[in-house]
Amino acid sequence: MRRFHWIKEGLVQAAVILSAAAVYTLFLFMTGDSTKSLHDYFEMATIYLVGMAVIMPAIFNIYTYTQTVPLTLSFGVTRKEVWLGLQLYRIAMLLPVMGANVLLFVLGSRVDILVSLVLTLAGGLYFSGIGGFSGALTVKLGRGTLLMIALVWIVSLALAAVLVVIPVVNKKVDILIYILPLVGTLVYTLCTCFEKKAIKALCVK
């Protein structure tokens, strides 16, 4: 029952991501020219979905530290359970999005299914990690750390950009499929370890 709470929160955020991508695509569909085929729109939807799946978890995960984490701790949940709950939350957020990508591929999107899944998963993990890390950082260091957070973001975005752009420029897109999940998982693991320590030291105010 309690575990479902975290999964539910993740599913809600997944719904937000899916809706955002759907709305955006619909908007383009309404305003677009008739030369575009349905496949084109599915392709765009996939791209937006991947984009949203990558960016939005970051934001949601920062929010967990102003909302969910202190709230559940205040109800006597152990820090260990909170940390585990966050993992469930993130998986629950990413899986539906990956599912939607598969659906779009089946419906005719020409974006390579492996690429879209890898980007979603890797990007989702990467930015969930960064989001969680910066959220935990604000808790650990206090509010006047906006500069530090901005720095974290600039560095991680730069790194992400470099990791994606270089293989693309060198036409070695296929290695993306190996590098990105690795980097995503590594970054996520490091961030979530930091989060574990931060949550342990957290003072509920």
Please report, as ranges, the residues that interact with another protein according to CB under 8 A: 1-2, 5, 63, 66-68, 71-81, 200-205
Closest to another protein by CB, 36 or 200 = 200
* Shortest Å distance, C-beta 194 to another protein: 16
Inter-helix orientation angle 79-107/113-141, to 10°: 150
CA-based torsion, 141, 143, 144, 148: positive or negative? positive
Measure the CA–CA gap between 124 and 107, rounded to whole angstroms. Answer: 23
CB-nearer residue toward another protein: 2 or 171: 2
Nearest residue (CB) to another protein, 142 versus 170: 142
CB of 58 to another protein, least distance (A): 16
What would the two tokens of residue 169 be?
């420029």
Q: What span, in angstroms and rounded, lies between the C-alpha atoms of 84 and 99?
A: 23
CA–centroid distance for 45 within its chain: 17
Q: Cβ 67 to another protein, closest distance in Å?
A: 3
Least distance from another protein to the Cβ atom of residue 5, Å:
5
